[in-house]
Amino acid sequence: MSPNGANGDAIVGSDGPRQKGKATPDTLKVGCIALVTKDGQLRRAEILSIKETKSGRQFYCNFDNFNKRLDEWVPISRIDFEQDVEWPNPEKDKQKDGKSKKTASAVSKKSQPSKKAQKKVGKREQSVASEGQTPHPWTEFVESQQRGKTPKVEDGDDKANASLEIGGTPGIGPDEMELDEDETPASAAKKEHTHPFSREQEIEKLRTSGSMTQNPAEIARIRNISKVEFGRYVLFPWYFSPYPEVFSQEDCIFICEFCLSYYGSLKSFTRHRMKCTLQHPPGNEIYRDDFISFFEIDGRRQRTWCRNLCLLSKMFLDHKTLYYDVDPFLFYVMTSRDEKGNHIIGYFSKEKESTDGYNVACILTLPQYQRKGYGRLLIQFSYELSKIEGKLGSPEKPLSDLGLLSYRQYWSENIIDLLLGYSEREEKCTIEGIATALAMTTQDVEHTLQALKMQVYHKGEHKIVIPEKLIQQREKSRAKQKRLIDPERIQWKPPVFTASSRTWGW
Ligand code: ACO
Ligand code: ZN
């Protein structure tokens, strides 16, 4: 198995020397590295799976130095059998089998790349992260602890989200977790205590109802859903998502854009749509302007909805594995409104209490809305919440390639704008001052300044300068920028949670 950089750029065949030799369509097997045509060029690709289709045998290929979302099924005709293939290394594969079992049991926790994998960052990641002089933690992908730390017990109200009845979700089973609005934390804690499943059983339940079979790590690498109808859009997933196995046999699955329930046939989906009454995410609307709204949804109170959101987003997010234990998270969902309802554009999740100071766990703009400035709005919103909390925040690491690009852009633009304001007012600026004004961590500020070469050492003093070119670039991009969050319109107070409402209390 080839390690992936946190951004998903695979380095195929990096597990040591391999035996080479000729293969035929019949002998080419999973784990082999062959030369396969992509974009008109022969490229090294690892075969991750093989299937028989009506039009012949197909091979699922992961291409050298290509992001995993560009993995694809290829027919025999795209594989060059004239050239030697590299055979899998049996000894290493055996060891890896053991490892992958371990990975699988941690499926609901934060993805934690091994030290080795952390070092083998894909080329694209290196090229975006290497401009700074000192490596920022994101380049090293230092993952600290896992979720599920014992939370502090606090008094205070538990923010109640409207508990809306939502359509049944095939596959995940009865929704025994959905809380009623009037359920108190104490009664909920009791319910949790008497819940018949252990954490392991829950994970196992997910796995057996999902596509994870004998070798979850391998299977998880293969995109299982090829097409999704979602509202008026057709989506083509990038990555694996643990929808129940039967769904991977469908040419297209149907997801209700409001309750996020999923269906394998148009008939059952149509029947669902006749019954489904949800028209917006099941939480409180905490922001509204002329274009968009934000809803806050508590993972614990709207477990099914939030799990469905995670399943949906996993199709476009490779390195985060949260999709089941949604209790410790809040979900901030951005929508656009029309007469039919509030349509999801994107979201970010946030730990109710992050000991690492993260203000975002996962962030996603649905593909049909990407590159239109919505990611910026999501990021800005997350920092506006941190400002209200009086905290400095940073996104959870590792960031994906697209996450890194978007954050760097957001950080750069905001630091430059702030500094331009400073120079007009002739204020002295410090890294701490910038961090506080923007609710960014000093590390993120420092790294951005370094990456933009804005820090100079002059006559024994560190100074911050804005190169003329950056000012011009910023003026151009500001002219393009359409939307911003208006902080005045945010109606939100930091929610306070009791220990029992943060987690399931296993
Ligand atoms: N190529 C180059 N630059 C990009 C790209 C891209 N594909 N996408 C974003 N950027 C940069 C650009 O600088 C862009 O500004 P510009 O368009 O003015 O040049 C800037 O980021 C912001 O772009 P937006 O349009 O505001 O961002 P978008 O709505 O596309 O959302 C996001 C960005 C959320 C990262 C989106 O690409 C996404 O959902 N990706 C899949 C999921 C993912 O990787 N999420 C981040 C994981 S990390 C984490 O969860 C903490
Ligand atoms: Zn629905």
Rg (alpha carbons) of the chain, rounded to whole number: 24
Whose tokens are 């029309």? That residue is 338
Inter-residue contact 464 to 455 (CB < 8 Å): yes
Inter-residue contact 410 to 380 (CB < 8 Å): yes
Q: Which ligand is nearest to the CA of 354?
A: 1
Q: What is the pLDDT of residue 208?
A: 35
Percent of the chain with pLDDT over 90: 54
Query: Which ligand 1 atom is the nearest neighbour of the CA of 367?
Result: 39
Q: What is the pLDDT of residue 113?
A: 35
424, exposed or middle or buried, with CB in 10 Å at 0-12, 13-18, 19+? exposed
> 238 CA distance to ligand 1 centroid (A)?
15
Our CA dihedral for 263, 267, 271, 272, rounded to 10 degrees, sits at: 10
> 402 CA distance to ligand 1 centroid (A)?
5
pLDDT exceeds 80 at position 92 = no
Site residues for ligand 1, CB cut-off 6 Å:
316-317, 320, 360, 362-365, 370-376, 395-396, 399-400, 402-403, 405-406, 409, 477
Q: What is the pLDDT of residue 146?
A: 28
SS3 (DSSP) at 21: strand
Inter-residue contact 311 to 267 (CB < 8 Å): no
Higher pLDDT, 200 or 220: 220
Q: Out of 354, 402, 413, give the residue to mutate to test ligand 1, the one with the largest number of ligand atoms within 8 Å of its CB.
A: 402
175-209 exposure pattern, b = at least 16 Cβ within 10 A, e = fewer: eebbbeeebebeebbeebeeeeeeeeebbeebbeb
How do 228-230 and 253-255 pair as beta strands? parallel
Residues in the 5 Å CB sphere of ion ligand 2: 167, 256, 258-259, 276
% helix, strand, coil for the chain, step of 5: 35, 20, 45
Picking from 477, 421, 418, the residue whose alpha carbon sits closest to that of residue 445 is 418
Angle at which helices 199-209 and 90-105 pack, to 10 degrees? 120
Higher pLDDT, 36 or 481: 36
Query: Which ligand 1 atom is the nearest neighbour of the CA of 376?
Result: 26
Residue nearest to atom 17 of ligand 1 (CA): 371
Kindly name the residue from 143, 396, 413, 446 that is annotated as catalytic: 396
Separation between Cα atoms, residue 458 and residue 259, nearest integer Å: 58
pLDDT exceeds 50 at position 126 = no
In order of 28, 60, 89, 219, the CA distances from 34 in angstroms are: 9, 12, 14, 20
Q: Is the pTM of this model over 0.75?
A: no
In this prediction, residues 483-494 reach a mean pLDDT of: 97
Q: What is the pLDDT of residue 480?
A: 84
Question: Active site includes 396?
Answer: yes
Spacing of C-alpha 277 from chain mean position: 28
**Predicted confidence band at 220 (pLDDT cuts at 50, 70, 90)?**
low
Query: Which ligand 1 atom is the nearest neighbour of the CA of 401?
Result: 44
> 294 CA distance to ligand 2 centroid (A)?
19
252, exposed or middle or buried, with CB in 10 Å at 0-12, 13-18, 19+? middle
Strand-by-strand arrangement of the 253-255 sheet: 233-235, 228-230, 253-255, 262-263
